[in-house]
Amino acid sequence: MSTQKQTLPNGIAIIINDDGILQKIIHDSFGLFSLQGDGTISFVDCLESDSIPKAYQFIERINTNDVAYGWELHVSDGDDISLFSFSGIRIDDENLLIGTANPDDTEQFLNGLMDMNNESINKLRTFMKEQQQSAGSQDDEWAMYDQMSGLNNELANMQRKLTKKTAELERMNELKNQMLGMAAHDLRNPLTLIQNYALFLIEDHEEQDIFTDDQFQLVREIKQSSEYMVQIIENMLDISAIESGSINLDKKDEDIGKLIERIVSLNRPPASKKDISLNTNLPDDPIIKKVDAHKFQQVLDNLVSNAIKYSQSQTKVEVGVSDGSDSAITIYVEDEGQGIPEGELDDLFVPFAKISSEPTAGEKSTGLGLAIAKKIVEAHGGDIQVESEVGVGSTFFINIP
Amino acid sequence: MPGSDRKVVQELEAHKEELAELVTSMHFERHPELYKKYGEEGRKKCYEDTIYHLDYLEQAARVDSQELFNNYLGWARTMLKERDIPQSDLFDNIVILREAIKKTLPDAETSSLLEYVNEGLSSLQNRKTEDISFLDKNDPLFDEAREYLDLLLSGERKEAAQLIEKLVNGGTPIKDIYEHIFQKTQYEVGALWQKNKITVAHEHYCTAATQLIMSQLYPKIFSMEKSDKRMVACSVADELHEIGIRMVTDFFEMEGWDTHYLGANMPDSHLTESVKEKNADVLAISVTLPLHISRAKKLIQKLREEEELKNLKIMVGGYPFKVVPDLWKKIGADASAGSAYDAIEIANRLIEN
């Protein structure tokens, strides 16, 4: 062993006093201290400023425990900063420190220094061995590990609970959608029947008076109510299909201007009935976008018919397109209706959320239309927004990328 | 006779610290070289160890199980041997403990205790130290378990997680991964610590990493079809050993049970409430250290007093119940199981009756 020449890994071995002032350089393969020399060089001079408080703690630890090992400090060598592992021991009111760039080198570095037959180093090595052996039994370390494991256990428990709850909720939601779908289908068929029979009665009555006026009014109520119920059911089916993730878009290149014109013309009769003027403001060139024409018209129809529903007579509704950035476009539907209080704007798109604004001519609303519109627009990668002022009017914006 | 031991247990409990103090002074008086070598820290350590010996002696007396004490001494001997502490130290310490008991406790109470100590001493002399390993070449997934453990021991938990993911994607049943990889490597980690091959830090790291990796499998476990059987599990273990009962709970979940794991630190009263609230058919209690047996016993007594829980079946499991096969009866449980598979079979049987 002694004949074998060991190469000394890079490291420093110095002796400092309790204030960190350098007393002696035993070995300094990096030349960290050798260039300075007016007698008051501090150990911390070779460190990055971030590591200095820790360095004083390190010296403090050596003072209280007589030995400290494995402290990582950032050593600054000119422009380079590297992480050193330091160990130290107290010898006769002074502190012997050694530091290596790689903690695994420490042992080898000490062996190398021992070959140089340095007694103090020998002592440090012995202490470190003992310290390492008893390290596992240090109470505070054990307590810390237990604390960490305790935290970890709590996290693991929480994660278990969360995953279980999530799985349960997913199952329940799936079940809810299934039930909703089933109920809606089972209700729709008889309702359509009622709706049609009411229609037959109305037609019969129009051919030859078979009802008194009161009776005829009842039959019309039956027809209107059943139509409304069918509409609710269709919306519910839409929502449950959308929420169970089965919203299938059949996207094709469509001229958005044409879609708008079609919806506007469909809504002209109810608008003129309420004496509301319905205008469009469209660019001359076609605006081609990849959309599902049927679903997109459903969205437009919802916004336009709402604008009419919630506006007083002798007001104006305008549907138009404004250019957005890049190829994005914004479709707007602007009315001069009663407006929506600010606190209720967030609820607008929530299924069945009731708001204080009422249709102006006793029209009915299912409370689902805007929720569906939002989902459809989002499925197209866009979003839907609203600006409103009570007494002035509302504008809905559909942004399509 | 557990009944006649009750007084002796009380005496032992009352004088534990006094006894440990006396044993420590006697030990260091007889072996002055120890103080030179280990100093005040060594004295403290000796005191702590003696408290441990007394704790185990107390538990052995409580449940009337010589095997529990012998097993502990065997474990302690292996642990010390691997740390280069001569086993004569342990032997001497127990001999001194015997003297201290004679000096401190009333005569009438000592005879049964001394019997445990004497038997323990002779078992220390006769028992061979065994080289334990939980990884067996013939086990399914042996190579994978080995690789998993090696990765964890070198701090590569991400790679270990990938290994498990690969196995799951390749169709290895999750139950097999639990049983042959997670469980066996956890046992092995414990054995490696006992043999001084790894540190406490390693042990905690491996456990924490395995918990994290297990949780990746949760979405698969919880999406399985469920029956209406309900199981609640809890643990009176220390932090490091909680993972075992969580694995068992997951096994029940995989068998279609609706399970709730309540953790280790829930006070008895909350636990009783939770068991009621979840309407559990079976409660599984895990005990890892024999020191916690009496806590489990008290908990069971409390649960038995609840009229609402008269149909609840209580199962216990963990290391002490492996060492002492009929221990579960002594603490008032309905059954004990040695493995997760057994636990499910026994639980099914219990609720059928």
Task: Choose the mutation target among A153, A159, A174 for the interface with B, i.e. most B CBs under 10 Å.
Answer: A153
Give the pLDDT of residue B312: 95
> How far apart are alpha carbons A86 and A70 in whole angstroms?
6
Is the per-residue pLDDT at A134 higher than 80?
Answer: no
Whether the per-residue pLDDT at A148 is higher than 60: the answer is yes
pLDDT class of B264 with cuts at 50, 70, 90: confident
pLDDT at residue A5 in the model: 44
Q: In the block, which residue shows the tokens 């070449």?
A: B137
Residue B254: pLDDT band with limits 50, 70, 90: very high
CA torsion sign for A175, A179, A180, A181 is positive
Q: Which residues in chain B are contacts of A134 at CB distance < 8 A? A: 41
At a CB cut-off of 8 Å and minimum separation 6, what does B241 contact?
A: B235, B286, B288, B289, B318
A347-360: pLDDT as tens digits = 888 887 777 777 77
End-to-end CA distance of chain A: 76
Residue B3 in this model has a pLDDT that exceeds 50 = no
pLDDT number for residue B189: 92
A61-70: long-range contacts (C-beta < 8 A, 24 or more apart)? A62/A88, A62/A89, A62/A90, A62/A95, A63/A18, A63/A90, A63/A95, A66/A90, A66/A127, A67/A124, A67/A127, A67/A128, A67/A131, A69/A106, A69/A128, A69/A131, A69/A132, A70/A103
How does pLDDT run across B54-106, given as a tens digit for each residue? 999 988 888 888 888 998 898 888 888 877 778 788 888 999 999 999 888 88
Binned at pLDDT 50, 70 and 90, residue A115 comes out as: low
Distance (Å) of CA A24 to CA A14, A101, A381, B62: 6, 20, 71, 63
B49 and chain A in contact, CB less than 8 A: no
Q: What is the arithmetic mean of pLDDT over A289-307?
A: 90
ipTM of the prediction: 0.71
Among the residue ranges A16-20, A141-145, A255-259, B121-125, the one predicted with the least confidence is: A141-145
Q: Can you say how many angstroms the Cα of residue B299 is from the centroid of all Cα atoms in its chain?
A: 17
Angstrom distance (rounded) from CA B78 to CA B216: 36
| Contact in structure between A401 and A382 (CB atoms under 8 Å) | yes
Exposed / middle / buried, residue B156 (Cβ in 10 Å: 0-12, 13-18, 19+): middle
State how beta strands A94-100 and A11-16 pair.
antiparallel
Helix (H) or strand (E) holding A303: helix A293-309
**Chain A closest CA to B261's CA: distance in Å?**
7
Tell me which H or E stretch contains B283. Answer: strand B282-286
pLDDT of residue B324: 85
Residue keyed to tokens 């927004």: A385
Give how far B1 is from chain A: nearest CA, Å. Answer: 37
Q: Look up residue B314 and give its two tokens.
A: 């209580």
* Predicted local confidence at residue A214, as pLDDT: 92
What is the C-alpha to C-alpha distance for residues B117 and B102, in angstroms, rounded to an integer? Answer: 11
Average pLDDT of the segment spanning B137-145: 92
Q: Please, which pLDDT band fits residue A1 given cuts at 50, 70 and 90?
A: very low
Return the higher-pLDDT residue of B47 and B294.
B47
Residue A199, pLDDT > 70, answer yes
What confidence score (pLDDT) does residue A401 get? 86
- Going by pLDDT thresholds of 50, 70 and 90, the confidence category of residue A6 is very low
Give chain A positions within 8 Å (CB) of B200: 136, 141-142, 145
pLDDT tops 80 at residue A125: no
Higher pLDDT, B300 or B238: B300
CB B262 within 8 A of CB B271: yes
CA angle B283, B286, B289 (to 5 degrees): 155
Contacts of A142 in chain B (CB under 8 A): 200
Q: Which residues of B touch A148 (CB under 8 A)?
A: 204, 208
Separation CA A318–CA A308 (nearest Å): 10
Strands (E), A155-268: 252-255
- pLDDT higher at A116 or A269: A269
Summary mean pLDDT of chain A: 82
A138 alpha carbon, distance to own chain's centre: 43
Q: What pLDDT score was predicted for residue B53?
A: 92
Select the residue of B200, B219, B238 nearest A136 (Cβ to Cβ): B200
A331-335, B48-52, B287-291, range with the lowest pLDDT: B287-291
B222 touches chain A (CB under 8 A): yes
Residue with tokens 């441990």: B52
Query: Minimum mean pLDDT among B3-7, B216-220, B273-277: which range?
Result: B3-7
Q: Which of A7-16, A106-115, B201-210 has the lowest mean pLDDT?
A: A106-115
Interior CA angle at B253 toward B247 and B256, to 5°?
A: 150
SS3 A70: strand
B273-295 tens-digit pLDDT: 999 999 999 999 999 887 788 88
Q: pLDDT-based confidence at B335, cuts 50/70/90?
A: very high
Residue among A135, A149, A157 whose CB faces B208 most closely: A149
